Structure 1
Amino acid sequence: MKTHPNELFFYYAPESNGSKQTRAMAYAITRHVNEFNFQKERLTSTAWRTLLNLLGLRAKDLLNRAHPEYQAKIAGHDFNDEDWINILINHPYMLKAPIAVKNNHAVLCKSPNDILKLG
C-alpha cells in the first residue's frame, strides 16, 4: 500500500496520559494523520509485533504499571511474550502513552513533545 511521505500513524487510547495534546502535536507536524483509537479499533498480534519492533521495546514496557487494573490482574504474574501481546490486544487502554509512527520510525510519546522526534 502506498502512503504519503508525510503520513503519520497515531495509536492512542483517549483516556491515556497526554493523548489529546500529543494528537494535536501530530496534526501540527502533518495534515496526513491516520488515527487508531483503541476504544474503536483493535490491533492484531502482527500489528502489535510490528509496532514493538519499530519501538525496540517489549510489550510489557508499553503498559502503565500504575493503572489499577494492571495492579489487580497483571502485577506479580509471570507471562510469556505471547501473553503480553494478548494483554495489549485486550487491554490497550492500559498503555502508558500514545505511539506515533512516521517513515518506519516509531516513538512512545510519554510527553507530547516526544512526537517531534519523528520530524
Structure 2
Amino acid sequence: MIQILHNPRCSKSRSVLKFLNEKGLEVEEIRYLDQPLSANEIRNILKKLNIKPLDWVRKNEELFKTQFKGKQLNDDEWIDILANNPKLIERPVVINGNKAVIGRPLEKILDII
C-alpha cells in the first residue's frame, strides 16, 4: 500500500492524493500534523527519501526563519525539531515500501509507483 504524508489544507498535497487515487492505487493518508511523527518514524522516512533532515525542512516557513535559520545543528537535533514541529516537514511525501519521494513536482512520484 502506498502512503502519503498529507496535509489536506495544502493544494500540492491534495493534488498528489488526487493523482494517486486517479491511478487506482490504494492509499493510506498519514495526517502528520494531527498525529506528529516520532523521531524514529522520521529517521525511517529519511532513509527512504535518502536525504538529510535539513533537506526535509520547509525553509520558507515563518517558524524556521525566526527560530532555526542559520543555526548549526546536527542531524539528531533536526530530527527532534521536525518531531516537535511537524509543520516544518516538507510535503507531500509519498512512500512505497522502502522508497519515498517528496511529491514536488508531482511527476517525481512516478519514480516509485
The structure with higher relative contact order (CA 8 Å, sep 6+) is: 1
| Fold equivalence (TM over 0.5) | yes
The gaps in structure 2 that reach 5 residues or longer are none
User: 1:32-55 CA deviation, whole Å, 9 max, x = no partner?
Assistant: 211111221111111111110111
The gaps in structure 1 that reach 5 residues or longer are 1-6
Corresponding residue to 2:93 among 92, 95, 99: 99
Contact 2:5/2:91 (CA < 8 Å) preserved in 1?
no
Secondary structure of the 1:18 match is helix
1:23 aligns with 2:17: yes
Q: Write the distance in 1 (CA, Å) between the matches of 2:20 and 2:14.
A: 10
Structure 1 residue aligned with 2:57: 63
Q: Write the distance in 2 (CA, Å) between the matches of 1:32 and 1:61.
A: 28
In the alignment, residue 52 of structure 2 is paired with which amino acid? R
Structure 2 residue aligned with 1:85: 79
In the alignment, residue 7 of structure 2 is paired with which amino acid? A
Say how many residue pairs are matched. 113
